[in-house]
Structure 1
Amino acid sequence: MPCCHANCAIWRIGGEPDNFLDPCYSKETYLRAYQFSLHPITGSHEWKKLNQEKPLPFATIEGEEKAWETKAKEEKGA
C-alpha cells in the first residue's frame, strides 16, 4: 500500500490507492509464490549424499585475534 501521504494525494485527485499498488503485492502473486509446499526432513540421515570435494577451511591470518578472544580478555580485565 502507498504511504498515508500518498493515499491522501491519490484520494485528492479522485484515484483509488489499490490502482497504485505493484502487482508483486497482489493476492494472486502471493498464492502463486506459496503454491508449492516444502516437506521437512527429520534428520541429517535424510540428506542427499553429494560426490563433490569438501570446501577448503577458512583461511586464518597469523597474529590476528578472533572477536571471542578479544572479548574474553576484556571480561577478565586484562
Structure 2
Amino acid sequence: MRALVFAALLLSPGLALAQSPGMNSAPGQGMTFAQARAQMPGLSRVTFDKFDPDGDGVIPANKVLALQSTYNTMYLDRN
C-alpha cells in the first residue's frame, strides 16, 4: 500500500511537495546533509553526495525528490 501511495506521489510532483513538509525548498535553494538526515533517518553521506554535483554540501532543490525516491528504495522498500 505504501509503495502505491508513493508511486502516485511521484507521478504528481506538485502534490508530493505539498505532502512532504520540510522537503520542499524555496526556488533557488537546496537541502543540506543535516536537513536531509532529519527527514530521512539513516541516510548515508555517500548517497547524499551522489546528488551534490558541485560538492558544496547542498543538493539543488530540483534533486530533492530524486534523493527521497532513492532513499525510499534503498531504506524503506525492503521486504
TM-score, normalising length from structure 1?
0.19
Instruction: Decide which structure has greater strand share.
Output: 2
Larger radius of gyration: 1
TM-score, normalising length from structure 2?
0.19
